[in-house]
Amino acid sequence: MTEHLNIAGNTLAYDVTGQGPLVVLAHGMGDSRHSYRFLVPALADAGYRVANVDIRGCGDSSLDWDGYSRTDIAGDLVTLVRHLGGPAVIIGQSISGGAATIAAATAPEAITGVIELAPFTRAQSFDLGGLIKVKRFRAGYLQLAQVIMRGSLANWKKYLDVAFPTKPADWDSELARIVAKMSEPGRMEVLQAMSKSNPSDAGAQLPNVTCPVLVIEGSADPDWAVPRAEGERIIADLPRGLGELVVIDGAGHYPHTQTPDKVLDLALPFLAKTLANA
């Protein structure tokens, strides 16, 4: 059952499945909580209370928020954790990986661990060499550029085709669902605003994180020429000993959807450790 949390006159849509320590799932831009459809049942069966949220402006959450930065999203996630009676581990993908970093750094009493999936958590420099040498990176970059500049849903579909090197079995129906949602007035504008937001707010908080962090990258992620290198930079900016990096071979920008079993194999031991006393 979908529930709604009121935040300053706007609403976040979320659903809660299972009983036990709290795990909050936060998706990336242009997506919705349905992105975690393969993880939710397994996490609930493993003994966790899973809150799966549509981040602001996405899915069934309301439009017309006053900002779409990682800091804004982080504030929403902390509010949800407190509303549900945390502490919690946040699993955040892409922009929500950066938001989860900020949440952990600014509300350490509420966030006991973070799993970042293909996260945008650091300011990005222009990688001309990568664009020239890496076809996958070039293809994703060019499609995203058209989305940012023109708000083109056709280019977003082409980006997703690159971002999923192999497709889940339900991809046709899932893509149709994404297209229908992104065709609603205002949804593409939210995606564009998120695309233009600078990850430097999250990067600045990396040294302030005090809880364990697991970063999961896909080796075939089109958002970086060398995804492993991006993950290593995130780990290096965290306090020593807090971060762990795992790269899933062949996964793209959505490892939780493309390779859910491999993500679960990594996430479940992390959750057991970080939520042991919750």
User: Are the C-beta atoms of 13 and 33 separated by less than 8 Å?
Assistant: yes
Handedness of CA 47, 104, 274, 32 (dihedral sign): positive
pLDDT surpasses 90 at 277: no
Give me the pLDDT at residue 86, please: 82
Q: Label residue 1 by pLDDT band (50, 70, 90).
A: confident
Q: How many CA atoms are closer than 13 Å to the CA of 34, on its beta-carbon side?
A: 16
User: Are the C-beta atoms of 182 and 57 separated by less than 8 Å?
Assistant: no
Give me the pLDDT at residue 131, please: 86
Q: Label residue 185 by pLDDT band (50, 70, 90).
A: very high
Q: Identify the structural domains of the chain with CATH numbers, from first to last.
A: 3-274 (3.40.50.1820)
Q: Is the pTM of this model over 0.85?
A: yes
Which tens digit of pLDDT belongs to each residue from 108-160?
999 999 999 999 999 888 888 888 998 989 999 999 999 999 999 999 999 99
Burial pattern 56-93, b for ≥16 Cβ within 10 A else e, equals bbbbbbbeebeebbbbbbbbbbbbbbeebebbbbbbbb
9: left (phi over 0), alpha (psi -120 to 50) or beta: left
Burial pattern 246-260, b for ≥16 Cβ within 10 A else e, equals bbbeebbbbbbbbbb
Q: Label residue 276 by pLDDT band (50, 70, 90).
A: confident
* H-assigned helices in the chain: 40-45, 70-84, 95-106, 128-133, 135-150, 153-163, 171-182, 187-196, 200-203, 227-237, 255-258, 260-274
Which tens digit of pLDDT belongs to each residue from 2-14?
999 999 999 999 9
